[in-house]
Amino acid sequence: MARTLSTRDLEILKKLAPETNESLCPGSGHNFLSILPPVSNHFATSDADFLARIERLSEEDLRYLVGMILDGAESVGCMHPEHVVLIADQVARKLSPDTADSIISLYVSGYTREQEPDGE
C-alpha cells in the first residue's frame, strides 16, 4: 500500500539508513513509500548489515513498524526474503514469537490482516 512517509517514518528511516539524505528512491527517483524495503533493497549491503541496522531500533520503533506491517501500511512484500526472516527474528526476540509468525505468514500470503480471504 502506497503512503506518504510521516515525520516519524522518516526518523526511523534515518535511523536505519543514516547515509540517506533524502527520501527519494535511488532506482526510480520517486519518494519512498515504505521504510523497510528501501533499507533491504538499497542500503543494506548484506544480511549482517541489514540485521545491524534493524538492531538500532528501539522497542517502541519496532512495535510501531510491526503495527504498520500488520495493518498493511508498511510493505514487506518486495524485501529480500532473508531480511523478512531477520526482522521476524528480531520481533520474536523483542516483542512476541506469535507476532513474528504473523509477519512471516503475511509475507508468504501477501495479505494484510484486513485483506485475508475468508476461506473462499
Instruction: Report pLDDT for 111.
Output: 60
List phi, psi (to 5°) of 27. Answer: -75, -35
Q: Tell me the average pLDDT of the chain.
A: 85
40: its cell numbers: 533491504
Half-sphere exposure of 37 (CA within 13 A, CB side): 21
**pLDDT single digits (tens) 35-85:** 999 899 989 999 999 999 999 999 999 999 999 999 989 989 889 999 999
Selection from 97, 93, 55, 73 nearest residue 47 by Cα: 55
16: its cell numbers: 536505519
What share of the chain has pLDDT > 70, as a percent? 80
pTM to 2 decimals? 0.82
Q: Is the pLDDT of residue 29 over 50?
A: no
Tell me the C-alpha distance between 23 and 107, whole Å: 24
